[in-house]
Structure 1
Amino acid sequence: MSLATTIFRFEFRQLLRQPSQLIMLAFYIIISIYSLYAGHAVISRQAAGLDSLHKNKAALQQELHKRFHEDTSTRAGKNLAANAGVPQVVEFRNPPYATHPPHRLSMLAIGQRDLLPSYDLVSSKHEIVTPPNAEFINAEKLAAGNFDLSFVIIYLFPLLVMAWSHNCLSKEMESRTDKLLAIQGASMRKIVYYKLLFRFIVIALIIFLLSVPGFVLTIPYSRMSITDVLLWLYLALIYLLFWFALCWLIIGFRQSSHWNILCTLGLWLLFVIVIPAAMNSSATLIAPPPLHSELASAQRVCKEETWEMPVPALIDSFYQRHPEYHHLRQTGDTAEFGNRRFIAYTDLLGARLNRIMQAHDKSMQRYNKILLRGLYFNPVTQLQHLLYANAESGLANYNDYTMQVNIFREKWIRFMNNYLLFDRRFKEEELDSLPRFSFSGDDAKTRKILIGSISVWLMIIIIIATGKLTHPGY
């Protein structure tokens, strides 16, 4: 019988005979199951909201069609028929919505999906995308974050690795069995390797089994590919490998079990709390992020100043920016509450708000760039970032969504202007061919995640190389 088989059988029997270890594993399984429930509840609420939105939009679409067939023998029917196809009525009654549907893996890694909007109302009035954190949120929940499976994997499973692996060698030394094994010609290095490998396989199997519900549970409007599943498992496995490599390094110093557990806990605090806090403080000092209150105040002042502009100046600015409509210019364009005045106002307001948002985004990009650079020095935050990227629940994915929404808004404004400026009405058959928003994911997501994981592999290699240098023969 090979040494590996002997060690595996012995460790399996030891696991079954020690209630403390079984209770510890059961505890992790229970909290992981709860994290699955919590994640599924959050994402299901978002999916239910999107489903309600689609049903409501379909009902409003039917109402717009019904206006073309109203009974004009009654006053109410005559009014509805008179407004049938009016562009302002069509946009007001059934405005286009941009939706950000959840990825199926987002129930495993909620990220910032519970804080950021899952849909936006698009209007030719050129309003800004729904601002994040606009709703009231429980402050305690906001500080603690979501208790999803990614939280359990990133923050809690390392503690299980430490508690179960810190005494793989020191226990043999303290019970003097290492000397007996040495007399029999057994290699303590191989024994420790196989013990760690057994623990690695058991914990990896637990994570795999706990992830299966996230792979198979169906959520409306969600999407997922086999590549996403493989990436999730790949990231979870290299994260476990990183912590087992750290434990192997500490065990190699051949100190007591108490010394080993204190060192591993110190490393856990370093990577999970100290380094992320230091990087966040450094980024805040180097490139302070702009306040949302300042952005809201600047937008409000911009709206007021633009509205107070003289109507002729507004009209002149519109035709200067859009010479393709210059042949439509009339003397009645300067009417105080004319249609052209509102079109010119929203156009100029949009240009000014875009400049404000660009300055705000530029400051945020400097701040986020520093944080992203810091991820490469900490496998914990890097793996958390990659898990969110794979589940499309991070800030980068939302920024990509808002960019697509802004592009669609410009397309919608140009579409509506062709009706408003030419005083055209929608025909009934045109109501079903209005522009619609469709979110497209990042095609380079897999490549970016694989490249991002290289820094974790480099850290693992550095740990193993350090162990080989400091523990020759181990």
Structure 2
Amino acid sequence: MSLFSFELKLFWTNRLNKWLLLTYLVAGVIAIALSQAKIERELDHYQFSQAHYQDDIQHYRDQYDKNQLLPGYMGYYLFHPVSQTPQAWSAIFRGELDETATHLRVRLLGLQSQVNATAPGNVDAQRFGQFDLSFLWLYLMPLLIAAMSINVLADEKNTGRWPMLVAQVPKGTRLIFRKMTIPALMVLIVNIVLLVVATLITSISLDSNWFGVLAQIILYQLCWWFICGWIVFLNKEASFNYLSFITIWLVFTFVVPGLAYLYQIQQQDAGKDAAIVFEQRQYMNDSWDKDKKADFAAYLALFPQWTPTAPLGDDEFDWRWYYGQQQMSDVIVADLVSQRHQTQLASYQQGQAFSWFSPVMSMQYGFNRLANADTLAKLDFNQQIEQYHQQIRHFFWSIYFPDKAFEEADFDEIPAFNYSSNIGSGLWQSLLKLLVITAVFAALMWQQLHRFHEH
């Protein structure tokens, strides 16, 4: 029997190792099932919203058939659904999807008040967090690796077997590496099994991103293996090894991300969303007491494409003035919206900079980008909503301002929202960061290994 086979047999005779791996595997399968169920509920919700929207359209069709349709009121009361359709990888990497609103209903009023006054996602999920496959890999996998390998040398010394093993094995460090490699391989096999299960259960396909995720898992696991190896060859007691690893784990999982979060918060202007809503609504409230003809003239001067329209009459209310003021309310907060966009983008870039100092953050940023579940996805979704809102404005304005009759065929021409995901190369950037961090700990372990041999 080879030494590797013998060490593998010893590994499996340890019931704790079996239970740890089994628990890890079961937890991973549960995480995949829960995430997939959540995605299916979201898709059902989107379909329900679309069905409700079609019912509303049918209601206005019925009014048209009865010659009771008032296009101005239809523009006011018709809510158009917009959804950030979940991607395949978001079935196992939730990212920030539960922290932001991924489904809204917008109408022809000022857009920014509608976007910024919406509840930011699932409040319950924000309170308790989420259990997905990325949580298992990011936070629990390092602890599993350490539990099975951090004290291989300390245990041999405590039992008094180390002098005998060194005498029998030409190079004692090879035995230590073998004892550390076996649990790492077992964990890797379980991780591959979980990735295959996720591929079978969800809509994930076997493409370059699949192999990129696998490469990232391997590199992330290798990083923590080198961390364990460095601690092992410090040649300290078991308690010191545990304390050292937990300290490093806490620094990478909580301290560095926490410092990044605090720095990002300090760079942001708190209450920007509330300020946008306040400014927009205040403008609309003040508009009712102003000269409507002067305000309408100012609107047409800013948007001359609607100039060929009849002047306002002496009536107290005109839909053209009202909708024009709603659009003007978006115009006056455009600078605030742009500043918020730039602030959020800068915050994301600051987090990317901090991720160079934490393998956990590096891997998380890569997963979130792949799943289209990060700040960039949120900003892109908001921009697509703005573009869509402009489309439905143009559609209805083309009827209101020329004072055209709303025809039955126009119902089919109402613009529909089509979300387009924009997934970049975040996964490969994350691999580069992980490679650098892994190389640092590989060098530290190599240096400590030489010191170990000298003693």
Q: Normalized against structure 2, the TM-score is what?
A: 0.89
Does 2:21 correspond to 1:25?
yes
Report the CA distance between 1:288 and its aligned residue.
5.0
Alpha-carbon contact 1:379-1:459 (below 8 Å) kept: yes
Report the CA distance between 1:338 and its aligned residue.
1.2
Partner SS, residue 22 of structure 1: helix
C-alpha separation between the residues in 1 aligned to 2:317 and 2:397? 17
C-alpha separation between the residues in 1 aligned to 2:50 and 2:209? 27
Alpha-carbon contact 1:166-1:260 (below 8 Å) kept: yes
The one of 104, 110, 115 aligned to 1:130 = 115
What pairs with 1:52-451 in structure 2 (closer than 5 Å)? 52-67=48-63, 70=65, 80-83=66-69, 87-88=71-72, 90-91=74-75, 94-128=78-112, 129-131=114-116, 134=119, 142-218=126-202, 226-287=207-268, 289-290=270-271, 292-330=273-311, 332=313, 335-443=315-423, 445=424, 447-451=425-429
Partner SS, residue 328 of structure 1: coil
Report the CA distance between 1:421 and its aligned residue.
0.6
Q: Which moved more, 1:177-186 or 1:146-155?
A: 177-186
Alignment partner, residue 3 of structure 2 = 6
The letter of the residue matching 2:224 is: W
C-alpha separation between the residues in 1 aligned to 2:207 and 2:45? 27
Alpha-carbon contact 2:253-2:360 (below 8 Å) kept: yes
C-alpha separation between the residues in 2 aligned to 1:172 and 1:321? 80
Report the CA distance between 1:293 and its aligned residue.
3.8
C-alpha separation between the residues in 2 aligned to 1:188 and 1:419? 84
Partner SS, residue 307 of structure 2: helix
Report the CA distance between 1:459 and its aligned residue.
0.7
Residue-pair matches, total? 451
Report the CA distance between 1:246 and its aligned residue.
0.6
C-alpha separation between the residues in 1 aligned to 2:323 and 2:204? 38
C-alpha separation between the residues in 2 aligned to 1:138 and 1:283? 22
Alignment partner, residue 44 of structure 2 = 48
Report the CA distance between 1:461 and its aligned residue.
0.6
Residue 137 and residue 52 in structure 1: after superposition, are their counterparts in 2 closer, same or farther (change >3 A)?
Answer: closer
Q: Which moved more, 1:301-310 or 1:162-171?
A: 301-310
The letter of the residue matching 1:35 is: A
Percent same amino acid among aligned pairs? 17
Residue 171 and residue 440 in structure 1: after superposition, are their counterparts in 2 closer, same or farther (change >3 A)?
Answer: same
Does 2:430 correspond to 1:452?
yes
Alpha-carbon contact 1:33-1:210 (below 8 Å) kept: yes
The letter of the residue matching 1:209 is: V
The runs of 5 or more residues in structure 1 that have no matched partner are: 71-79
Alignment partner, residue 39 of structure 1 = 35
Partner SS, residue 416 of structure 2: coil
Alpha-carbon contact 1:412-1:435 (below 8 Å) kept: yes
The letter of the residue matching 2:32 is: L
Residue 51 and residue 11 in structure 1: after superposition, are their counterparts in 2 closer, same or farther (change >3 A)?
Answer: farther
C-alpha separation between the residues in 2 aligned to 1:434 and 1:386? 38
C-alpha separation between the residues in 2 aligned to 1:286 and 1:361? 13
C-alpha separation between the residues in 2 aligned to 1:132 and 1:11? 61
The letter of the residue matching 1:359 is: Q
C-alpha separation between the residues in 1 aligned to 2:180 and 2:208? 29
C-alpha separation between the residues in 2 aligned to 1:137 and 1:95? 21
Report the CA distance between 1:245 and its aligned residue.
1.3
Alpha-carbon contact 1:99-1:439 (below 8 Å) kept: yes
Alpha-carbon contact 1:117-1:132 (below 8 Å) kept: no
C-alpha separation between the residues in 2 aligned to 1:267 and 1:282? 21
Partner SS, residue 308 of structure 2: helix
C-alpha separation between the residues in 2 aligned to 1:341 and 1:92? 13
Report the CA distance between 1:208 and its aligned residue.
2.4
C-alpha separation between the residues in 2 aligned to 1:152 and 1:309? 59
C-alpha separation between the residues in 2 aligned to 1:308 and 1:368? 42
Alpha-carbon contact 2:356-2:362 (below 8 Å) kept: yes
C-alpha separation between the residues in 1 aligned to 2:218 and 2:50? 39
C-alpha separation between the residues in 2 aligned to 1:81 and 1:437? 28
C-alpha separation between the residues in 2 aligned to 1:412 and 1:418? 10
The runs of 5 or more residues in structure 2 that have no matched partner are: none
The letter of the residue matching 2:131 is: F
Residue 394 and residue 301 in structure 1: after superposition, are their counterparts in 2 closer, same or farther (change >3 A)?
Answer: same
C-alpha separation between the residues in 1 aligned to 2:133 and 2:190? 12
Residue 16 and residue 426 in structure 1: after superposition, are their counterparts in 2 closer, same or farther (change >3 A)?
Answer: same
Residue 431 and residue 227 in structure 1: after superposition, are their counterparts in 2 closer, same or farther (change >3 A)?
Answer: farther
Report the CA distance between 1:239 and its aligned residue.
1.6
Report the CA distance between 1:424 and its aligned residue.
1.8
Alignment partner, residue 446 of structure 2 = 468
Deviations 1:196-232 (A, max 9, x none): 33222211221222233432335xxx77673343333
Report the CA distance between 1:291 and its aligned residue.
5.3
Report the CA distance between 1:160 and its aligned residue.
0.7
Alpha-carbon contact 1:290-1:364 (below 8 Å) kept: no
Alignment partner, residue 74 of structure 1 = none
Alpha-carbon contact 2:365-2:426 (below 8 Å) kept: no
Alpha-carbon contact 2:348-2:375 (below 8 Å) kept: no
Alpha-carbon contact 2:216-2:363 (below 8 Å) kept: yes
